[in-house]
Amino acid sequence: MQDKCYLCGSEKDLTRDHVPPKNLFRKPLPSNLITIPCCKRCNGSFSKMEEQLRILVSAGINRSTDGEWIWKNKVVESSFRRSPALKNQVRNNLATGKVTLPTGIAELPILTMDAELVKKCLIKITRGLMAYFYPNLNQSELDFDAFQSRQFKIVELIHSVRAPFIYDERGNGQFRFLRVLVDDDNRCGYWIYIFYDSMSFVVQHDFRGNLTRA
């Protein structure tokens, strides 16, 4: 792997960036977290966005016990205590929606968040994982898109793609991800992310001008 920032290509002021962000994991941190070169400017520019991503993905009502721990200890007891303004922002983003539960449909509070902010964080994770797993792929030629997806839609996507997905995880299931590159030069691909066995997202990429949502 080249010693340059995977986001902007700078060779100056390099740090090691955790992909995905280490704030998503409870301690002790997993020993196999991925780190790659990232300049201080790019790394620092995402810190607040990644904190909000953590709030969103740990807020799911069907989150795992690890997600529950993150919500209680890193969100409520840390982020909200440190920043009452952030707590108020999250409170204002709460809405009521219908959720399908094993016992039926119920109206529950749902946390909404700036879609573009979430999209930027997910694409950053994808670019970092691409730089780690496929360091020779020229990301500057690619367009990216990201969106939240329900579990059954992910199953449909996996069955519709004519290539095998590769499964991986970090933190004993705290962060699960699947990936597949579906053309000869690896420019077209899909990445599926599942946080705390709850919220799931899809990121796709293709050669500039060819991207259409799955």
> Would you say residue 209 has pLDDT above 80?
no
Least confident of 74-78, 82-86, 92-96, 187-191: 92-96
> Cα angle at 173 between 171 and 174, to 5 degrees?
60
Instruction: Look at residue 109 and give its three-state secondary structure.
Output: strand
**Is the distance from CB of 137 to CB of 69 less than 8 angstroms?**
no
Stretch 151-177: mean pLDDT: 92
| 3 state DSSP class of 116 | helix
Q: What is the DSSP string of 133-185?
A: H-TTS-GGGEEEEEEE--HHHHHHHHHHSSSPPEEEEETTTTEEEEEEE-STT
Instruction: Name the residue ranges covered by the structural domains of the chain.
Output: 14-111, 138-207
Q: Which is nearest to 111 in space by CA: 52, 182, 47, 70?
A: 52
The reported pTM is 0.91
Q: What is the pLDDT of residue 186?
A: 80
Q: Is the pLDDT of residue 10 over 60?
A: yes
C-alpha pair distances (Å), 106 with each of 18, 43, 180 = 37, 40, 35
Distance CA(137)–CA(49), nearest Å, equals 26
Angle subtended by helix axes 84-92 and 47-57, to nearest 10: 50
User: Residue 196 is encoded by which pair of tokens?
Assistant: 């705390």
Mind listing the pLDDT tens digit for each residue in 83-122?
999 999 999 988 877 666 667 777 767 888 889 999 999 9
- Containing H/E element for 68? helix 65-69
